[in-house]
Amino acid sequence: MSKLLFYNTRTSRKEPFEPIEAGKVGIYSCGPTVYAPQHLGNLRPYLFADLLRRTLEEEGYEVTHVINVTDVGHLAGDSDDGDDKMEVAAAKAGKTALEIAAMYTEQWLRDRRQLNIRDPDVLCRATEHIAEQIALAKALEDNGFTYTISDGVYFDVSRFPRYSEFAGLDLAAQADHGRIDEVSEKRNPADFAIWKFAAEGIDRQQEWDSPWGVGFPGWHLECSAMSTKYLGQHFDIHTGGIDHVRVHHTNEIAQTECATEIHPWVNFWMHNEFIDFQGEKMAKSTGNVALLEDLVENGIEPLAYRYFLLSAHYRQQQTYTPEVVQAAATGYRRLLGLAAEVRDAGEGHEGGKGGGEAEGAAQSAYRERFRDAMRDDLNAPKALAVAWEVARNRDDLSAADRRDLLLAFDRFLGLDLVVADPAGDVFESDPRIDALLADRQQARANKDWAEADRIRDLIGEEGIEIIDTPEGPRWRRK
C-alpha cells in the first residue's frame, strides 16, 4: 500500500504525511474576501481543499477544517495603504459593510454547495475575532517585534531572520522593484501592518478600540489569530492559492512564530495554482471574471465545472475558455451516462467502508490504482482516468462491481456518479465504433445504401443506437 504524499511548499518537495496527533488532522484554508462576487477562479482553492479533506477522511482520519471569511481590513492588494475594499464596495452599493459581506458570503457558500464542496467545521469571520487579533498583536509587541509609526503598528521583518525562507524572497530586490507600496516611515519595505489607526477626516464603518487607539487590524493578522484559536498553536496543514505564498502566508508565518515561539507553526503548506482566463489570471481587479451562475445560464451544470477542475492537478495552472469548459461538461455527461447503466445494479451492497462485499481481484486492483493516484499528492486526473476505465469496462466487471467502484471513487471526487441523471442526450466515443460510424456516413454520401445498412446492422448488434444530431450522427448504448 502506498503512503500518503503531499507537496509541501515549506520544504519544496513531496513528503509522507504524518499528523501531529495520531488519527486526527487540522486544516486551515484561507477563505474569501467578501467585497465582491466570488468568481470561478476563486472557487479552485476550495475545491482543492475539499479534495484534500475527502482524501484524508477516506484514509481514516478525523478532520477538523477551518475557513475564514475576510469581512474587514483588506486594503489594496497586499499593501498597507490604499482604499479598504469593504468600505469602497459598501459606499458604491449604498449598503453597510456588513450587508456587503453577508451578501457575498452567502453567494460563496451557495456556489460551494452547488459544487459539492463540504461546509467547513468552523467558518470564522474576521469581524467576530477582533479580540483574538488584538491579543496576538499585543504578544508581538511584548516580544519586541513591532514598532509604531503615524499610521499604525508594524511588524519589523528584520527581527525575524527566517522571514525570507518560506517563499525564497530576495528582500533587497523587492525593495528595488517596489514589491510593497511605500509607507515612508517604515523601517524596511517588507514590514507589514499589524494594526492600522483611524485616519482623521475619513468616516469608516469598521473600527475598534485597541491598546494603540481606534483602528482596524492588518489583513494578515486574522488568519493567524483564528487558526490558532480553533486548531492550536501547532497544526497539520494550511492551504491557499499560490498567490498567497510571497506575502500573505510569509507574513502569517512571521507573526505567528514570533508570537508563539513555535517553529514550524504549520507542518504542511499546500497551494493550488491559478486559473488562466484567456491569457491572464482570473481576478476581480482586472474585471476578467466569470461566475458559476454564468455557466448555469449557459446550460452547464455546476458539477461539470467541478469535473473540469478535477481534470487538472491542483498544482498545475489551468486554462479557462468557454470551449474547454463545454468540452468538460460533455465529458462529465458521458461519464454520468455510463454510470447510469449500473445505477440499480446490486443495490443494498454499496462498496467501501462498511460494505462488507467480497472484492474480486479486478475490483481490488481498480480500488488500489485509484487510491494510489489520490495518495500521490491528490492526483485527481489520474484517479478520474481510473473511474473512466471502470465506467466503460463491461467485459471484466459486473454491473454491481462497476456500481460499487464508482460509488467508492465518488466519495473522493464528489461528482454524484451513479446518483445524478445525465442532462440531455449523453453520447459515447470509442475509436472503433467512431470509425464504423464514419464509414457508414461515407457510404451514405456515395449512395451505397446496402453498405450503409450493413454497417448500421453491425453496430446495432452490439446494442448501440445511432442518433442523428445537428452535429451529425452520434451513438450511445441502449
Task: Choose among 115, 93, 118: nearest CA to 34.
Answer: 93
Tell me, what's the pLDDT at 357? 45
- Same-domain check for residues 305 and 273: no
Is residue 64 one of the residues assigned to a domain? yes
Residues 6 or more apart whose Cβ sits within 8 Å of residue 236: 19, 20, 25, 26, 27, 266, 267, 268
pLDDT of 387 strictly over 60? yes
Whether 392 and 435 map to the same domain: the answer is no
Q: Based on the domain organization, do 272 and 333 belong to the same domain?
A: no
* 15 within 8 A of 8, measured Cβ to Cβ: yes
Exposed e or buried b per residue across 145-165, where buried means at least 16 C-beta atoms within 10 angstroms of its C-beta: bbbeeebbbbbbbebbeebbe
Q: Are 311 and 382 contained in the same domain? A: yes
pLDDT digits (tens, 9 = 90+) for 32-57: 999 989 999 999 999 999 999 999 99
Q: Is residue 230 located within the same domain as residue 325?
A: no
- Domain limit, last residue, from 413, 440, 461: 413
How many CA atoms lie within 13 Å of 91's alpha carbon, on the beta-carbon side? Answer: 11
- The 3-state secondary structure of 57-87, one letter per residue: HHCCCEEEEEEEEECCCCCCCCCCCCCCHHH
301: CB partners within 8 A, 6+ apart: 329, 332, 423
Q: What is the DSSP string of 9-74?
A: TTTTEEEE---SBTTEEEEEE---BTTS---HHHHHHHHHHHHHHHHHHHTT-EEEEEEEEB-S--
If asked whether residues 61 and 30 sit together in one domain, one would say yes
Residue 261: give its domain's CATH number: 3.40.50.620
316 and 217 inside one domain = no
Q: Which of 218, 253, 281 is the last residue of a domain?
A: 281
Q: Give pLDDT, residue 424.
A: 54
Q: Which pLDDT belongs to residue 426?
A: 53
Closest CA to 270 of 51, 469, 115: 51
Q: Is residue 293 part of a domain?
A: no
> Looking at the 3D structure of the chain, how many domains does it have?
3
The verdict on 406 and 449 lying in the same domain is no
81 and 214, same domain (yes or no): yes
Domain that holds residue 401: 300-413
**What stretches of 115-217 show up as alpha helix (H) in DSSP?**
130-142, 171-177
Residue 199 pLDDT grade (very low, low, confident, very high; cuts 50, 70, 90): confident
Rounded CA gap, 459 and 464, in Å? Answer: 6
Say whether both 360 and 461 belong to one domain.
Answer: no
Query: Are residues 149 and 200 located together in one domain of the fold?
Result: yes
Contact 267, 15 (CB under 8 A): no
Please indicate, yes or no, if residue 286 is contained in any of the structural domains: no
Range in 93-102, 154-163, 343-352, 413-422 the model is least confident about: 343-352
Domain assignment present for residue 422? The answer is no
Report if residue 26 sits inside a domain: yes
- Does residue 291 fall inside a structural domain? no
> What's the Cα-to-Cα distance from 287 to each of 69, 317, 323, rounded to whole Å?
22, 20, 20
b vs e for 69-107, b when ≥16 Cβ sit within 10 Å of the residue's Cβ? bbbbbbbeebbbeeebbbbbbbeeeeeebbebbbebbeb
Q: What is the pTM of this model?
A: 0.84
* Residue the block writes with cell 511588524: 155
Per the CB < 8 A criterion, the answer to whether 41 and 277 are in contact is yes
User: Residue 243 falls within a domain, yes or no?
Assistant: yes
User: Which of 14-28, 293-307, 431-445, 456-470 has the highest mean predicted lDDT (pLDDT)?
Assistant: 14-28
pLDDT class of 138 with cuts at 50, 70, 90: very high
Mean pLDDT of 403-421: 93
Same domain, 277 and 313: no
Question: What single string gives the DSSP state of each residue in 307-360?
Answer: HHHHTS-TTS-EEE-HHHHHHHHHHHHHHHHHHHTTTTTTTT--SSTTT-----
Question: Would the pLDDT of 252 be above 60?
Answer: yes
**Is there a domain that residue 425 lies in?**
no
- Mean pLDDT lowest for which of 16-20, 73-77, 237-241, 284-288? 73-77
